[in-house]
């Protein structure tokens, strides 16, 4: 067991807590499960490699490690605190650290979606960012979707790199790994995750012809003002 991850041993109390989950608490946990199950159908994830977190009171809820989405139940969703402690005896996703750090450091973020979409991951393997090839790049909060430098999964270094890449942004790539999308709601984070994968797909296709022409900084600024209230998108604070 890692010393920085505190797992209380009082499983009897946890069983009682599970039995007493309110209807609202169960619905919130079920929304995470539903989003996990939809990731594969939406083409932004494969298998159980993705993970999702959602702010909850003074902490957050996160998917458990290595559990097939179709087998998840509301009681399986892990509750964590920002002091790294886990409520109960479950084990959170191996990527719990960057979920925790993003939610703790970004008051505008209530949901974090991490996945390994094919095209995002292809670009991330090449250690590239997605430049302003299309105006929808602005939906992530800037003129590009940055690629964070590589670090081993589950480490503080990876979390630090992700936080830096997400500064002023709502999405980033992780070199040789995948992508992260955040939002003020789970719906908005999922929407953005799909949009970022669409942009990555477009960029990969463009590269068959060479380096694509880019939007000018002036047009990026113009679009950013217009897109602030587009769909479920909301600009980062």
Among left, alpha and beta (phi > 0; psi -120 to 50; other), residue 157 is alpha
Count of domains observed in the chain: 1
Q: What is the pLDDT of residue 88?
A: 86
In a domain, 17, yes or no: yes
Q: What is the pLDDT of residue 43?
A: 87
In a domain, 123, yes or no: yes
* pTM exceeds 0.75, yes or no: yes
Q: What is the pLDDT of residue 19?
A: 55
In a domain, 115, yes or no: yes
Q: What is the pLDDT of residue 152?
A: 98
In a domain, 1, yes or no: no
pLDDT tens sequence for the chain (237 residues): 455 665 554 455 555 555 567 889 999 999 999 999 999 889 899 888 999 999 999 999 999 998 999 999 999 999 999 999 999 889 999 999 999 999 999 999 999 999 999 999 999 999 999 999 999 999 999 999 999 999 999 999 999 999 999 999 999 999 999 999 999 999 999 999 999 999 999 999 999 999 999 999 999 999 998 887 665 554 443
Nearest residue to 48 (alpha-carbon basis) of 26, 60, 64: 64
Q: What is the pLDDT of residue 22?
A: 87
Q: Which domain holds residue 208?
A: 11-227
Q: What is the pLDDT of residue 1?
A: 47
In a domain, 165, yes or no: yes
Is 71 marked active-site?
no
In a domain, 234, yes or no: no
- Distance in angstroms (rounded) separating the CA atoms of residues 126 and 176: 7
In a domain, 5, yes or no: no
In a domain, 2, yes or no: no
Cα separation values, 68 from 6, 28, 146, Å: 24, 19, 30
Cα separation values, 60 from 52, 101, 166, Å: 10, 11, 19
Q: Is 152 exposed, middle or buried (0-12, 13-18, 19+ CB in 10 A)?
A: exposed
Q: What is the pLDDT of residue 7?
A: 53
Q: What phi and psi, each to the nearest 5 degrees, are found at residue 19? A: -65, -25
Segment holding 35, helix H or strand E? helix 23-42
Dihedral over Cα of 106, 110, 114, 119: its sign = negative
Q: What is the DSSP string of 153-170?
A: TTSHHHHHHHHHHTTT-S
What are the tokens at 177? Answer: 């790994």
> Which residue among 95, 105, 219, 221 is the active-site one?
95
Identify the CATH number of the domain in which residue 140 sits.
3.40.225.10
């Amino acid at each position: 067991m890692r010393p920085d991850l505190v797992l209380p041993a009082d499983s009897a109390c946890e069983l009682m807590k599970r039995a007493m989950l309110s209807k609202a608490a169960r619905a919130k946990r079920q929304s995470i499960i539903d989003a996990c199950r939809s990731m594969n159908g939406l083409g932004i994830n494969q298998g159980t490699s993705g993970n999702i977190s959602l702010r909850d009171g003074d902490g957050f809820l996160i998917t458990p490690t290595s559990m097939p989405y179709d087998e998840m139940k509301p009681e399986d969703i892990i509750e964590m605190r920002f002091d790294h402690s886990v409520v109960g005896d479950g084990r959170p996703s191996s990527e719990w650290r960057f979920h925790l750090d993003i939610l703790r450091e970004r008051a505008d973020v209530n949901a974090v979606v991490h996945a390994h979409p094919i095209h995002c991951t292809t670009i991330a393997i090449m250690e590239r960012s997605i430049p302003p090839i299309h105006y929808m790049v602005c939906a992530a909060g800037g003129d590009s979707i940055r690629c964070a430098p590589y670090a081993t999964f589950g480490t503080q270094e990876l979390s630090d790199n992700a936080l830096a890449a997400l500064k002023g942004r709502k999405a980033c790539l992780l070199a040789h790994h995948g992508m992260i999308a955040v939002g003020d709601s789970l719906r908005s984070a999922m929407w953005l995750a799909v949009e970022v994968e669409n942009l990555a797909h477009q960029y990969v296709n463009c590269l068959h012809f060479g380096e694509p022409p880019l939007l000018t900084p002036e047009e990026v600024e113009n679009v950013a003002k217009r897109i602030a209230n587009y769909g479920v998108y909301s600009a980062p604070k």
